[in-house]
Structure 1
Amino acid sequence: MRHEPGEWFKSGWSPEKSECVEVRLGEETGVRDTKERDGGQLTVARCAWTALVAVIKQGARTW
């Protein structure tokens, strides 16, 4: 699924009313808690987010 840059979204695997994290893609990637959206966010460089997702998809546990 594609998302517009700057749009917050959560995984399509997450149930509708579940508590999880949301992600915002762009020059930097933002991650925030769905229970506390105004509580701040973690921001990482796009390359760091891409690397993390690649490792998770590979099932590696070395990170």
Structure 2
Amino acid sequence: MEIRRELYVLAHVDVDGNVTGYPKGGGSSTKPSIKAHDSLSSAKRSRAHCGGTIMRITALEPAE
């Protein structure tokens, strides 16, 4: 499936470059959610608060 819009997520990455988890955001009364962004600048701002490595999504496959 071709991606026509940019998508970035924050991820925890080990020394070998494998994704081991995802920083989650959310307030005290909301469920935690994975941080995804439609621009690199937004992902950089989020990384400053949540940490992690910015990963650009380059492929998708349907889950159902």
- How high is the TM-score relative to the length of structure 1? 0.29
Per chain length, whose mean CA-contact separation is higher, i.e. which structure has more relative contact order (CA < 8 Å, sep 6+)?
2
Q: TM-score, normalised by structure 2?
A: 0.29
